[in-house]
Amino acid sequence: METGLTGRTVVVTGANANIGRGIALAFAAEGTNVVIVGRDERRGQQVRETLLGAGAKDVLWQAADVTDRAQVGAMVAAVLARFEAIDVLVNNVGGNVDIDAFVDTDPETWQQDIALNLLSTLNCTHAVLPGMIAHGHGRIINIGSTAGILGDPLIAVYSAMKGAVHAFSKVLAKEVGKQGITVNAIAPYGTLPTGSDDVSSGSRWHANGLFARLGATRREELHSIGRRTVLTRQTAYPSEIGAAAVYLASDTGAFVTGQVLAIDGGIQLA
């Protein structure tokens, strides 16, 4: 498939691990300039070398907390200074900070889930849109979740925020389509890191991360969130999310906008 992506500039937030790293690798293989945004600089530099080896034209590591509007503005300014334009934005940062029945949750965790999943997407999108509109071209890909489609117990606010990401993608697609910009969302189900080299210090899969802590103390509750696919495999690979992102960003996917593409092994069929 001829994607037309060679030489274009792609920003991937949360690109240090798991889904984000898989997306960054997929774009690197297309010969793009890849900007990896995260908070773990040591890990970011490791991923940078990996992407260069995978075929990226150029790779820029840019540290930023994308829940902070000022840091996002500085990140975008640095990217534009290096590459002049941003052709593709992948809003991948997200996650939940804990699991609990909503009645037992702390409002502080609501704010963290809102910032991590929705505010991060709004901040980055708002920062790159003027440039895309000026160039008359752009691709925005938001990473949602099947939790935002079906709703998962014990992660009510996370589910709500991913549903908001899906709705935002549809509305924005209507607003900017005439400016040559497409906006889509990808809704993965469970996606596991491919190994120890696919985990950063900020990942929920880190040895000190959320899932490790829950697995040690609240394993049954953690497992209760799980759903069964209709396939022999129960989780996605980061590379599969990356392939979907490449398609939606490509010239081949230029007529696709306002969609939520579920990569879920058929869990919605049950």
Q: Which residues form the catalytic set?
A: 158
- What tokens does 208 get? 């000190």
**What is the C-alpha separation between 113 and 116, in angstroms, rounded?**
5
Distance of alpha carbon 55 from the chain centroid: 21
Return the closest-CA partner of residue 164 out of 263, 94, 78, 269: 94
Return the closest-CA partner of residue 146 out of 260, 32, 256: 260
Calculate the CA dihedral of residues 112, 259, 141, 267 and round it to 10 degrees. 60
Cβ atoms of residues 31 and 58 within 8 Å: no
Give residue 14's region: left, alpha or beta (phi > 0; psi -120 to 50). Answer: left
Report the run of H or E that residue 190 belongs to, with start and end: none
Phi, psi at residue 12, to the nearest 5°? Answer: -120, 115
Cβ atoms of residues 139 and 87 within 8 Å: yes
Beta bridge partners of 171: none
Count Cα atoms within 13 angstroms, Cβ side, for 244: 23
Strands (DSSP E) found in 112-179:
138-143
CA 258, 142, 145, 163 torsion-angle sign: negative
